[in-house]
Every structure is written in C-alpha cells, then in structure tokens.
Amino acid sequence: MIAYSKKLVRIAEAWNGETPDSTRIDLIRLFQQPAPIQNMLCREFYTILLDLKEEPDALLSKVKKETRYEINRASTKDNLTHEYLNAKQRDVFDEFCNYYDRFALQKGQPVINRRWLRLMAETENLIVSRVRETTGESLVWHLYYRSGERVTLLHSASLFRNSNSSRYRNRVGRANRFLHWQDFLNFRAAGVSLYDFGGWYEGDKDEQRLRINKFKEEFGGEIVKNYICELGITFKGRMFLLIRKLLIGNAI
C-alpha cells in the first residue's frame, strides 16, 4: 500500500488483496478487484491473466507458434542478456525512468510519474527487468508491481522507433518476447502464481491499442474483467470524487 497527496487530497492505494490503512486518509483506491465493492465507486477494466502455476512446458505450449520461434531464436542466436532487478535501488530506478522518458518522447506521451513510482519502490514490490546487448545497450525494459502472488506489468519501453532498420526493429521485437518469457519463468520461480499483462483494450477504434492487444494475446492467458474501486472517507475525499466525475467521467 502507498499513500500520497494529490490536489490537497490524501489518497491511499492498495493492490489485489492488500488492505489500505485509512488513518488520516481522504480517499481509498483499490486496484484489481475481481468484483464491484458495495458502496464504492467502481470502474471496470479488462486485462489478460496468465496462470504461472502451470509447468513451463505447458505455458510455452499456449504461446503462439510464431512467438515461440521468436523466443527460441532470441535465446539461442541473438546473444542477449536478461536481468531481473530491484527498483528500490536508486541507480536502477533512475536508469529505467530516464529510458522510459525517452520512449515516451518518441510516442508523444507524458513522462513517467517518478514520485508515484518512488513510493511503490520503497515498498520493495516494484521490480524491473530488461534485455540488453553484450555491449550494454538496453533493448527492452519492463516494470512490474507485485502484490502477494500476483504481478502486474505497469510499463514496457523500447526505443526501436528511432531506427529505420527493419533488422534492428525485428531484433527488438524478439528481445521483447524473450523478456516476457524470462519474466514468466523468474516470477514463477519466485512464487508468483498470476501474471497480469496490465490491461486489455475492449474497444475497436484505437489501432495502436489493438496492436498491443494482439501482442499480449500471443502468450495465451485469459481476458478478464476487473475493477478499480474508490471510496471517499472524508468530505474532502467525497467532493474530490464528485468533482472529478463531473469533469472527466469515470477516468482516474
């Protein structure tokens, strides 16, 4: 669980089965709830969940054939290095955030929320993984939050958009698939039973998000509906939810 202030409202956030502390809190926010919670404002979202309790061979059998080929090629021929890191380490945290900000600039998206992530890192549940060349060049980064036996992909970043080389872009694509597979194995060995891909777009208009859906679906798993639920504890918290709903609807 983490707590922070936003627009003078004190917010406590908890994931999966975590229990938030409501002491001196205006608003409670619960992520990854399997069903709406009575008397709370709940917004549905979809994601893909992968059961890591299965044996590696069974997990791999559910991965699409072309993706299995990409993973195998990356692991046997591309000479890549996989790393599994603790984001509480300041140098790891800063290196990831700096890389992500370059990625966001390429895509025209906002830079990463370092203050929020730093709070998560202090819980020691924020995990970073990456694939790099033997030269040290990072090809792909992943950032996860672990809550109990569930791990959630928060961010994935790569800089292939800077290159006009189809060979390099294909290499980064293989590295990303290889990184996902290595993450599955590492989390499984660490006692994680559920891998959350961090969202699945339920619409049909946004082509970029549909391409991301297609990539995630390559690894198998089940598309499920979860909920983000919020409760205003104080008058200030209730007014925050009401005003936000009037201004931007159900967005958080």
Q: Is the pLDDT of residue 120 over 80?
A: yes
Shared-domain flag, residues 62 and 183:
yes
Q: Is the pLDDT of residue 2 over 70?
A: yes
Tokens representing 27 are: 């608003």
- Total number of domains constituting the chain: 2
Shared-domain flag, residues 66 and 165:
yes
Considering only residues 199 and 160, tell me which one the structure prediction assigns the higher pLDDT: 199
Shared-domain flag, residues 76 and 20:
no
Asked if residue 109 is part of any domain, the answer here is: yes
Shared-domain flag, residues 70 and 167:
yes
Which structural domain range is residue 131 located in? 53-192
Average pLDDT over residues 103-124: 94
Shared-domain flag, residues 21 and 101:
no
DSSP strands (E only) in 81-219: 81-86, 126-132, 138-147, 150-157, 194-196
- Among 159, 188, 176, smallest CA distance to 70 is for 176
- Structure confidence at residue 251 as a pLDDT band (50, 70, 90): low
Half-sphere exposure of 108 (CA within 13 A, CB side): 0
Average pLDDT over residues 225-250: 91
Q: Is the pLDDT of residue 247 over 70?
A: yes
Packed helices 90-107 and 114-122: angle between N→C axes, nearest 10 degrees: 150
Q: 21-80 pLDDT, tens per residue? A: 888 999 999 999 999 999 999 999 999 999 999 999 999 999 999 999 999 999 999 999
Q: Is the pLDDT of residue 250 over 80?
A: no
Dihedral angle computed from the Cα positions of residues 232, 236, 239 and 241, in that order, rounded to the nearest 10 degrees: -40
The sheet with strand 81-86 has its strands ordered as: 2-6, 9-15, 27-33, 222-232, 41-51, 194-196, 150-157, 138-147, 126-132, 81-86
Q: Is the pLDDT of residue 109 over 70?
A: yes
Asked if residue 61 is part of any domain, the answer here is: yes
Please state, in angstroms and as integers, the Cα–Cα distance from residue 91 to each residue in 94, 128, 132, 189, 240, following that order: 5, 12, 16, 25, 36
172/186 Cα distance (integer angstroms): 20
Shared-domain flag, residues 166 and 63:
yes
Shared-domain flag, residues 7 and 114:
no
Per-residue model confidence (pLDDT) at position 205: 92
- Among 214, 223, 212, 155, smallest CA distance to 183 is for 155
The CATH number of whichever domain residue 106 belongs to comes to 3.40.630.30
Per-residue model confidence (pLDDT) at position 162: 75
Asked if residue 85 is part of any domain, the answer here is: yes
Average pLDDT over residues 90-98: 96
Asked if residue 207 is part of any domain, the answer here is: no
Q: Is the pLDDT of residue 249 over 90?
A: no
- Please state the pTM of the whole predicted model: 0.93
Shared-domain flag, residues 59 and 6:
no
